[in-house]
Chain A
Amino acid sequence: MKKIFNPFGRISRQTLAVMITLQVIITLLLWHTASNGLIPTPGRVAMSFLELLSTKLLLDNLLVSLLLTGKAMVYSILITLALAYLSVLPFFKSIAQFIVKCRYLTLTGLIFIFTLLTKDGSQLKLSLLVFGIVPFFVTSFLAVILRIDKQEYELCKTLGYNNWQILYEVIIIGKADQVFEILRQNFAISWLMITMVEGLSMSEGGIGALLIKYNKYNDLTHVLALQLVIFLLGLFFDFILGSIRQWLFPYTKLQIQTA
C-alpha cells in the first residue's frame, strides 16, 4: 500500500490492475452520485454508447472524419518533412521558424480568409486542418533536429560524408523513428481539431457535425457517448501507431528496454 504513494515506487502488474480498477469504480461512483437531471448518469451514457455503436449513422460520420483526418495528416506530414529537411538550408530556415511561430495564430480569425481561398466546404475543412496541424508538426520536428548529438555529424564527417550525405543519414534516416513519434503525438491534435472544423461545413457530416447536432438539442447523453467513441478511437490509433513504430524501427524498443 505504501509503495503506491512513494516517489518512483515500483508496483507489480497485479497491483496496477487492482489500483486502476478501483480508480475507475470510484470515478464512476462519483459521477453517478454527482449526476442530477442535467448531467446523465454513467449507465445512461453506456446505453447510449452501445446504441450509437449499432447505428449506421455513427459509422458513416466516423468514416467521413477519419478520411478527412487521414488526408490532413498526409498533407501535413509532406509539408512538415519538406520544411524541416529544407530548414538545414539557410534560405529555408527562417521560413520554417516563421511556421513555428504560426502556432500563436488562432484559426477562428482566419476562417473567412480560408473560405475565400477555397472552393468548397471540403477544401475549407482540409486547409484549416492542415494549417492548424503543420505549425505543431514543424515545431516538434525542428526540436528533434536541434537536439541531434554533435557526434552524429562528426562521425559522418570522419567517414568522409559530404553535407548532403550527412543530411540523408543523420536527419532523414536517423530521425525517421522520431518523425513517426511526432506523428503519433500530433495525431491527437488533428483528432481534437477535426470536431472543430467539421462544424464549419456540416453538410458532409462527420463526428464533429454530429457532436454539434447533439449539443444543439442539449442531448448530453449522446454528446458524452460520442465523446467516449472519440476518446476510445484516439487511444486505439495511439496504440496502432506506437506498435507500427516499434515494428518499423526495432531499435526504439531497445532504447526503452535499456533506459
Chain B
Amino acid sequence: MTAYTKGEVLLQADNVQLCFGNRVILHDINFAIKNIVRPGMQQGQVVSLVGRSGIGKTQLFKLLSGLQSPSAGHIYLQNNKTVQAGDMGVIFQNYYLFEWRTVYHSLLLAARQNAALAGKEKEHIDRYAEQFQLTEHLQHYPQQLSGGQRQRASIIQQLLKGSPFLLLDEPFSGLDVCVLDKVVELLLEVSVSDEFKTLIIVSHDIATAAAISDTVFILGCEAGKPGATIKKEIDLVERGLAWEKDIKQRKAFTDTIEEIKDCL
C-alpha cells in the first residue's frame, strides 16, 4: 500500500442543516477533509460527494461554496474561518462564463482577484492556457467554445483566482467517453499541482467520481427522518483504491461501487 498520512483538517462541516421553510433538505451534515501527505510528492485531495438525483447534492454544493448559508451549523476552513462566497473555486455544471468577455478577459479578471499574481497575470494565463490547450481560443467569446473548452476555461478561471479548494458540480455530466477521459486526466493533474489543492466533486456518476477520489461521502436519506445526510464515508486510500490508473478494473473497486450503490 502507498505510504501516506493524514494531517490537519482543511475543511469541516459541523452539524450543518438546511431547511426551506418547514421542509428539511439537509440535516446533521458532519464531515472533515484532511490534508493527505505522501512522501516525496505533492498530493492534493480529491473528495467525491455522491447521491441520487434530487437528494440535495446541489444544495450541499451551494453551502460548501458559500453561495448559500446553512439554516444551522457551520462549515469551517483552516483557522476556524467560516466559509464565505469567494473562498472556494466553483465550477458550475454548465461551465458558466461571462458571455460578454473573451476567454482572455475573463481569465484576466479572475487573475486580478489573486494578490499573489499581481503583475504576472498575463504570464500565468498564458501558462495555464498552454497547459489546458486553450491558447488559440483566448480571444474567443464563450459562445464560440465547445463544451469541453468551456469547462477548461472555467477551471483555469478558478485556478487563477487562487483558492486551494475547487468545487465541481457534475463535471462528468453529458460528456462522451473520450472527453470524459480527458476531464478525468485534467482533474488528476490539478489535484497534484499543490499539496493543499482540494477537489470536491459533486456527482451522480459514482464510478468515475470514485475512481479519481481518495474519499467518498455518500449523501442519502435515513429511515423516518426528513431530508438527507452523509450516510457513510468511504476512505479509498485505506482500502488501497486511490491514486491508481486502472482502478476501475479491480474487483475490490467494483465491490466498493456496489457498496456505495446499496447505500443510496
What is the interface of chain A, defined by CB distance below 8 A to chain B? 149, 151-152, 154-155, 157-161, 169, 173-174, 176-177, 249-251, 254-255, 258
A160 cross-chain contacts in B, Cβ below 8 A = 85-86, 113, 161
Which of B66, B143, B161 sits near A254, CB closer than 8 Å?
B143
Chain A residue at smallest Cβ distance from B87:
A160
> Is there an interface contact between B143 and A258, defined as CB atoms closer than 8 Å?
yes
CB within 8 Å for A251 and B88 given contacts A151-B96, A158-B158: no
> Is there an interface contact between B89 and A158, defined as CB atoms closer than 8 Å?
yes
Which of A154, A169, A177, A255 sits near B98, CB closer than 8 Å?
A169
B97 cross-chain contacts in A, Cβ below 8 A = 155
- Report if B100 contacts A (CB, 8 A): yes
> Is there an interface contact between A154 and B67, defined as CB atoms closer than 8 Å?
yes
Which of B100, B113, B144 sits near A249, CB closer than 8 Å?
B100
What is the interface of chain B, defined by CB distance below 8 A to chain A? 65-67, 85-86, 88-90, 92, 94, 96-100, 109-110, 113, 141, 143-144, 157-158, 161
> Is there an interface contact between A158 and B100, defined as CB atoms closer than 8 Å?
no
Q: State how many angstroms separate the Cβ of A137 from the closest Cβ of chain B.
A: 21
B161 cross-chain contacts in A, Cβ below 8 A = 158-160
Q: In the bound complex, what is the Cα–Cα distance between A186 and B100 (angstroms)?
A: 23
Chain A residue at smallest Cβ distance from B93:
A151
> Is there an interface contact between B141 and A251, defined as CB atoms closer than 8 Å?
yes
Chain A residue at smallest Cβ distance from B157:
A159
A152 cross-chain contacts in B, Cβ below 8 A = 96, 98
Which of A151, A176, A177 sits near B92, CB closer than 8 Å?
A151
Residue from B98, B110, B141 whose CB has the most chain A CB atoms within 10 Å: B98
> Is there an interface contact between B90 and A158, defined as CB atoms closer than 8 Å?
yes
Residue from B92, B99, B100, B157 whose CB has the most chain A CB atoms within 10 Å: B100
CB within 8 Å for A159 and B100 given contacts A154-B92, A251-B143: no
Q: In the bound complex, what is the Cα–Cα distance between A66 and B141 (angstroms)?
A: 36
Chain A residue at smallest Cβ distance from B67:
A154
CB within 8 Å for A254 and B110 given contacts A158-B65, A159-B86, A174-B98: no
Which of B92, B110, B141 sits near A159, CB closer than 8 Å?
B110
Which of B86, B109, B143 sits near A157, CB closer than 8 Å?
B86
Q: List 11 A-B contacts (CB under 8 A).
A: A152-B96, A154-B85, A158-B88, A159-B86, A159-B110, A159-B113, A160-B85, A174-B98, A249-B100, A251-B141, A251-B143
| Chain B contact residues, majority secondary structure | loop
Chain A residue at smallest Cβ distance from B162:
A160
> Is there an interface contact between A158 and B86, defined as CB atoms closer than 8 Å?
yes
CB within 8 Å for A177 and B100 given contacts A157-B67, A159-B110: yes
Q: In the bound complex, what is the Cα–Cα distance between A173 and B98 (angstroms)?
A: 10
A157 cross-chain contacts in B, Cβ below 8 A = 66-67, 85-86
B86 cross-chain contacts in A, Cβ below 8 A = 157-161
Chain A residue at smallest Cβ distance from B110:
A159
Q: State how many angstroms separate the Cβ of A247 from the closest Cβ of chain B.
A: 15
Which of B67, B100, B113, B143 sits near A173, CB closer than 8 Å?
B100
A249 cross-chain contacts in B, Cβ below 8 A = 100
B98 cross-chain contacts in A, Cβ below 8 A = 152, 155, 169, 174
Residue from A155, A158, A177, A250 whose CB has the most chain B CB atoms within 10 Å: A158
> Is there an interface contact between B67 and A158, defined as CB atoms closer than 8 Å?
yes
Q: State how many angstroms separate the Cβ of B150 from the closest Cβ of chain A.
A: 12
> Is there an interface contact between A251 and B99, defined as CB atoms closer than 8 Å?
yes
Q: State how many angstroms separate the Cβ of B69 from the closest Cβ of chain A.
A: 12
> Is there an interface contact between A254 and B141, defined as CB atoms closer than 8 Å?
yes
B143 cross-chain contacts in A, Cβ below 8 A = 251, 254-255, 258
Q: In the bound complex, what is the Cα–Cα distance between A176 and B99 (angstroms)?
A: 12
Chain B residue at smallest Cβ distance from A259:
B143
Chain B residue at smallest Cβ distance from A176:
B100
Q: State how many angstroms separate the Cβ of B239 from the closest Cβ of chain A.
A: 33
B67 cross-chain contacts in A, Cβ below 8 A = 154, 157-158
Q: In the bound complex, what is the Cα–Cα distance between A251 and B144 (angstroms)?
A: 9
Q: State how many angstroms separate the Cβ of A67 from the closest Cβ of chain B.
A: 33
Q: In the bound complex, what is the Cα–Cα distance between A59 and B157 (angstroms)?
A: 55
Q: State how many angstroms separate the Cβ of B58 from the closest Cβ of chain A.
A: 12
Which of B94, B100, B141, B144 sits near A174, CB closer than 8 Å?
B100
Residue from A160, A169, A177 whose CB has the most chain B CB atoms within 10 Å: A160
A250 cross-chain contacts in B, Cβ below 8 A = 141
Q: State how many angstroms separate the Cβ of A226 from the closest Cβ of chain B.
A: 41
B90 cross-chain contacts in A, Cβ below 8 A = 154-155, 158
A169 cross-chain contacts in B, Cβ below 8 A = 98, 109
Q: In the bound complex, what is the Cα–Cα distance between A154 and B61 (angstroms)?
A: 13
